[in-house]
């Protein structure tokens, strides 16, 4: 399906699906492809509601593989998540670590340490952000980075305003983001942790390839801005437009259809 007004930067790097379920199956196929090709560099993973059906489709796909192929995926698996809340660890059900355990590590039977995230319980979150960025670098840098789109244009937890060279860091979350993520905390934005550790725009843009996934009518406004506005700090995701390895995958509700 063509875009109503396709910006030049998007060219042929765009796919749109009628239904969120078809989008999830397609993204799962692309993630699986990374392993079929022999994972050369770590995967960059995201959390959030957009990724839930994606990971569920990925688990279904991988668990249906012949045993030797599934075992091969398990042996290859090496991923780094974008972010984590400050003050939450794997034992807190609202943490991204717990989310990754529930959605991927446990159902796929991945060994501990294969799915890595910043340590939200670190005594010094700023130092943890630097350590985590170093760990990504040491592991060879991200090959394919999976990204969702925040309702205020953030990627990872790179809140606006944000430049393309923003480093991995610990930061305070905006009111808009705490509201966006309240569902995982009983619907109460004040229960969403006030701080987070995130890979910076610098590290995200350092990935070899980027898969930006936008799903659902709630993202129509911010996606329209992304498709219209030139890169700038008020819309952190806009810095992705210049990335040569960007692919944008959306569903029709996200396009306002």
Q: Which residues participate in catalysis according to the annotation?
A: 83, 152, 154, 159
85 binds ligand GLP (CB under 6 A): no
Nearer to ligand GLP, 16 or 46 (CB): 46
Q: Please provide the distance, in angstroms rounded to a whole number, between the alpha carbons at the two ends of the chain.
A: 11
Shortest Cβ distance from residue 177 to ligand GLP (Å)?
6
Q: Read off the tokens for 159.
A: 């809140």
The closest of 248, 228, 189, 250 to 50, measured between CA atoms, is 250
Residue nearest to ligand GLP (CB): 148
Nearer to ligand GLP, 72 or 121 (CB): 121
Q: Read off the tokens for 241.
A: 């437009």
Q: Read off the tokens for 227.
A: 């498709």
Ramachandran area for residue 46 (φ above 0: left; ψ -120 to 50: alpha; else beta): beta
95 binds ligand GLP (CB under 6 A): no
Among 48, 143, 153, 253, binds ligand GLP (CB under 6 A): 48
Site string for ligand GLP, 137-176 (x = CB under 6 A): -----------xxx-----xx-------------------
73 binds ligand GLP (CB under 6 A): no
Backbone angles phi, psi at 3, to 5 degrees: -80, 150
Classify residue 66 as exposed, middle or buried by CB count within 10 Å of its CB (0-12, 13-18, 19+): exposed
Handedness of CA 153, 157, 161, 166 (dihedral sign): negative
Q: How far apart are CA 63 and CA 108, in angstroms?
A: 7
The count of residues interacting with ligand GLP (CB under 6 A) is 14
118 binds ligand GLP (CB under 6 A): no
Q: How far apart are CA 18 and CA 59, in angstroms?
A: 22
Among 34, 83, 119, 128, binds ligand GLP (CB under 6 A): 83
Classify residue 233 as exposed, middle or buried by CB count within 10 Å of its CB (0-12, 13-18, 19+): middle
Nearer to ligand GLP, 21 or 69 (CB): 21
Nearer to ligand GLP, 108 or 254 (CB): 254
44 binds ligand GLP (CB under 6 A): no
Q: How far apart are CA 252 and CA 257, in angstroms?
A: 5
- Total count of residues recorded for the chain: 257
Shortest Cβ distance from residue 136 to ligand GLP (Å)?
15
Among 79, 95, 152, 177, binds ligand GLP (CB under 6 A): 177
Shortest Cβ distance from residue 207 to ligand GLP (Å)?
14
Q: Which positions lie near ligand GLP, rule CB under 6 A?
A: 46-50, 82-83, 148-150, 156-157, 177, 181
């Amino acid at each position: 399906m063509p875009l109503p007004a396709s910006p030049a930067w998007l060219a042929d790097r765009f796919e749109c699906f009628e239904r969120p379920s078809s989008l999830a199956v397609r993204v799962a196929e692309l993630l699986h492809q990374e392993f079929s090709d022999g994972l050369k560099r770590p995967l960059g993973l995201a959390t959030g509601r957009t990724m839930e059906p994606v990971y569920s489709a990925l688990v279904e796909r991988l668990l249906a593989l012949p045993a030797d192929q599934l075992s091969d995926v398990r042996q290859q698996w090496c991923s780094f998540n974008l972010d984590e809340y400050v003050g939450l660890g794997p034992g807190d059900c609202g943490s991204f670590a717990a989310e990754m355990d529930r959605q991927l590590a446990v159902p796929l039977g991945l060994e501990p340490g294969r799915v890595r995230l910043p340590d939200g319980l670190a005594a010094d979150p700023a130092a943890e952000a630097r350590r985590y960025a170093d760990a990504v670098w040491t592991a060879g840098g991200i090959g394919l980075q999976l990204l969702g789109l925040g309702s205020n244009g953030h990627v990872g937890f790179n809140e606006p305003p944000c430049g393309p060279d923003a480093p991995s860091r610990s930061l305070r979350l905006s009111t808009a983001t705490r509201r966006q993520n309240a569902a995982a905390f009983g619907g109460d934005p004040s229960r969403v942790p006030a701080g987070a550790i995130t890979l910076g725009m610098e590290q995200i843009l350092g990935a070899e390839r980027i898969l930006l996934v936008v799903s659902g009518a709630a993202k129509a406004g911010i996606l329209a801005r992304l498709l219209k506005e030139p890169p700038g700090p008020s819309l952190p995701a806009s810095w992705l437009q210049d990335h040569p390895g960007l692919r944008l995958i959306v569903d029709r509700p996200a396009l306002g259809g």
